[in-house]
Amino acid sequence: MRRRDFIKTTAAAAVLARVDGPALARKAGRQGRVRLKVGILSDIHIKLIDPGSVDTFVKALEFYRDQRVDAVLIAGDMADTGMATELRMVADAWYKVFPDDRLPDGTAVEKLFVYGNHDIEAWKYGYVKKRSNHEEIKADRLVKDRAAIWEELFHEPWSPIYIKDVKGYKFIGGHFANNKNMPGLEEFLRQHASELPAPGRPFFYFQHTHPKETCSGPWVWGQDNGEVTALLSEYPNVISFSGHSHTMLTDERVIWQGAFTSVGTASLSYVGGIGGRENSTLFGSSDKTVRQMAQARGRDAHHGMLMTVYDDQVMLRRRDFGRDEDLGDDWVIPTSVLSRPLAYGRRAEKELSPEFGRGAAVSTARHSGKDRGGTALEQMSVTFPTAPRTGGTPRALDYEVCVEVEDVDTWKTVLTKRVYSETVWLSDKADAGGTVRCEFGLFELPAGRPFRFAVRPCACFGHKGEPIFSDTMSVEMSGQV
């Protein structure tokens, strides 16, 4: 019988009734003992040319040490340019905080690390080849002997895929081999089938690239070809962790539930959002037109998680290690395989609309500016406050800004843009005081015709709040300077 074809008994139905329901972004009742604590990081990108890049990593490790974790998981991209020297910096930081892989009281802390694409192949990327020290990078590339260097630095055997037991919980780690799949995973799972728990108790899998169309949906950059998704779908109790895309932990879609559970691990180096917004990256977007705004990136945001496992739930505490603050309430994953409260469709049904605060207003300003391609032109800035999380409503993920023209007794939308706020990757508290700006080229606006801007806050799963409006205006001329 296949793993997912488990028996649905009357008793199991009772379990479903107990654990099903809203489970995301809330403080859950912590019943029973803490079974396991694991620090979760990805994409730390330690740089030889920037020794300060180690500081945030050390800060995160010290936090995990103080939380008395049982293990730390890093889902790839440790060495930014793939140098053995950079990986040595990672190892030195680890043993500085966890000498001999132990807490100060001697309790063991397990390493759950895997290589990512930067560890293996960044030495040959175009931007790295342009560096004056490229020959040094090439000569020191760890991929020349990834196994021997790993064993020297981390004092443990290396294999492409491995399994570890941490306090009775199984972790399977797959090192980066290519962007498409995890060679050998099917056979590995078959060989270790007897070690994996029955449904109802979780086990964990981690790799660098996202299993296709799981965490952050079909839109996110950094997905594999779907082979891993198909394999993991046989195990309803597996929780998968993956990195690569740097997608911020303030986007609720980072957790996906379908046949299994998949979680994106963001990045300790910097974070970003999914494409399709006026100020998002064009990388991986189907829209290759020149945008009117510079790309927004959370260069000063350093995200990671603390996972706590209980008998009936797994809790993920999201944290910004640059600011030493939690990003919001804990995320909760029920361990019952019958419960799928984090499925996108179910969360969309229950999602409330974000709303602007009382007195929120839209302001506009015409100015000379540049589009993302550097072309000088006349622009109009549309500025408004964020729609923060309040008692019963979520914070906005992004904002819809529409140009509406007056047409007799109604208003018609002639252009729509989406934009992230400048605080989208910060904590709930920081986002509450944020501002949002959206740029329009004057040539995009209706010339000689009354129009206004309508702005709506948008939640992660599609719900939109009530709009706020700018004054009605008109422009006498439009076009580039």
Residue 240 above 80 pLDDT?
yes
Check if the beta carbon of residue 113 is closer than 8 Å to that of residue 154. Answer: yes
The mean pLDDT of the chain is 91
pLDDT value, residue 19: 33
For residue 79, pLDDT beyond 70: yes
pLDDT, one tens digit per residue, over 403-417 is 999 988 999 999 999
At 12 the pLDDT is 35
Sequence letter at residue 203: F
Minimum mean pLDDT range among 57-66, 255-264, 281-290, 299-308:
281-290
pTM attached to this predicted model: 0.91
Lowest mean pLDDT among 103-117, 196-210, 270-284, 302-316: 270-284
Checking if the pLDDT of 283 tops 70, the result is no
Residue 279 is predicted with a pLDDT of: 93
Lowest mean pLDDT segment, chosen from 34-38, 49-53, 312-316, 467-471: 49-53
Domains, the chain, in order of start with CATH, read 10-267+302-349 (3.60.21.10), 363-469 (2.60.40)
Give the residue carrying structure tokens 């009117």: 292
Task: Indicate if the pLDDT at residue 6 is higher than 70.
Answer: no
CA–CA gap between residue 240 and residue 171 (Å, rounded): 10
What percent of the residues of the chain are helix, what percent strand, and what percent coil, each to the nearest 5? Answer: 20, 30, 50
What value does the mean pLDDT take over residues 119-144? Answer: 96
Nearest to 332 by CA among 348, 317, 311: 317
Sequential DSSP letters for 97-146:
HSGGGB-TTS-B-EEEEE--HHHHHGGGSHHHHTSTTHHHHHHTBGGGGH
Q: What pLDDT is recorded for position 290?
A: 77
Q: Calculate mean pLDDT across residues 292-296.
A: 89
Give residue-wise pLDDT tens across range 38-66: 999 999 999 999 988 999 999 999 999 99
43, 387, 418 from 398: Cα distances, Å: 24, 9, 7
**Helix (H), strand (E) at residue 410:** strand 410-419
Band (pLDDT 50/70/90 cuts) for residue 31 is: low
Identify the residue whose tokens are 């086990």.
203
The answer to whether 79 and 46 are in contact (CB under 8 A) is: yes
End-to-end CA distance of the chain: 69
